[in-house]
Structure 1
Amino acid sequence: MYYLLAPNEQVNSLGDINIINLGEKGICGIILDLDNTIIPWNSYNMSPEIVKWIGSLTEAGFKIILVSNSGLKRVGEIALKLQIPYVAQAYKPAKLGFYKAATLMGLDVSQVAVVGDQLFTDIFGGNRTGFYTIWVKPLSTKEFLGTKITRYFEKLAVRFLRARGFLN
């Protein structure tokens, strides 16, 4: 069961994701987490680099969608700025939000990657539903209280996964 916490890839930043490699794997849709993946937690401010990176993905032909546990209003406003669809209040790691995102993109599970900063929501949820998963370092240490607690257990899981060769 612990293998469900192991991402297919781990990167330091979104810019480190090799989109050519994803295309070669048959990936043509990307589910992006919101908080601490593309913007700092509880923020509305996106860096120009992130906006440019998302634009380069769409120019390369990838379908992009935000999937977040955050509220409808905030996620909707950010998605509107980026001109991409979204699923808010997704209750990750529940499968429903992930499946809804794939359906909205019109893609099969095998064609979609999940990119997020949390093992217990983004990666676990993505792996449970059969998506290709990419774990990215969080943008900020400022987080929701529940996430701070989860990070403690995430550190333990990372040690365990590294000891068994699932992470480098």
Structure 2
Amino acid sequence: MFETFYPDAWMDSTYQIDFDELYKKGYRGLIFDIDNTLVPHGEPADERAKALFAHLKELGFSCCLLSNNQLERVQMFNKDVQVYFIEDAHKPSRKNYRKAMELMHTDLSNTMFIGDQLFTDVYGAKRTGMANILVKPIHPKEEIQIVLKRYLEKIVLHFYQKNRKSGRI
């Protein structure tokens, strides 16, 4: 019933993903949500985020930030990481997931999405046909509309874990 929202993988943190292994597997494009995926909500790029993007570029990845936030917020984060970005993305609409791949010159076979929300980030990636990783939110402080969605996410993730344990997925 909830399979439409199940992530391909679920990790504790973006910073625990083995990006070297993803590159070896043939991935060349990475699309990231920003808030609570890379930094706490509304924060600029911190040293950890800057180091991550430097490493990803060294590996040969092309990266794009895909955010439902407005231009000012996305530019504030991007000034220190300098990757492609799309603001006001209207996730889970597929349009800007596709645009991100165009910017990076990648396609569905070699692009991965990383985000912290099931109903926007992961659902949009899945609707597009894109591999995805759900990460746990970095910080508990969130906008009210996101807090409400988190209650529904808990239900979906309960069934996701139950189905994984039983070998159904």
Q: Quick one: which amino acid aligns to residue 111 of structure 2? A: V
- 1:59 is aligned to 58
Deviation larger for 103-112 or 17-26? 17-26
1:10 is matched with which residue? 10
Secondary structure of 2:164 counterpart: coil
Q: In the alignment, which residue of structure 2 is the partner of 1:117? A: 116
In the other structure, the counterpart of 2:140 is 141
Shift of 1:77: 2.6
Dislocated runs of 4+, deviation >3 Å: none
* Contact preservation (8 Å) 2:41, 2:142: yes
Deviation digits for residues 100-125 of structure 1 (CA, Å, limit 9, x no counterpart): 11111111111110000111111111
**How far apart, CA to CA, are the structure 2 residues paired with 1:77 and 1:163?**
39
Structure 1, gaps ≥5 residues long: none
Determine the structure 2 residue equivalent to 1:50.
49
Deviation at 1:20?
Answer: 2.6
The answer as to 2:71 corresponding to 1:84 is no
Pairing 1:86-101 to 2, within 5 Å after superposition = 86-101=85-100
CA distance in 2, matches of 1:79, 1:52: 13
State how far apart, in whole Å, the 2-side matches of 1:142 and 1:121 are. 18
Give the C-alpha shift of residue 4 in structure 1.
2.6
Q: What's the % identity of the aligned pairs?
A: 34
Aligned residues: 167
Using the size of structure 1 for normalisation, the TM-score is 0.92
Distance 2:41 2:142 in 1: 6
Residue number in structure 2 paired with 1:157: 156
Residue equivalent to 1:40: 40
The answer on whether the counterparts of 1:11 and 1:136 sit within 8 Å (CA) in structure 2 is yes
1:39 CA displacement: 1.4
Deviations 1:72-98 (A, max 9, x none): 121123212211110000011111111
Q: Which runs of 5+ in 2 are unaligned?
A: none
Q: CA RMSD in A?
A: 1.8
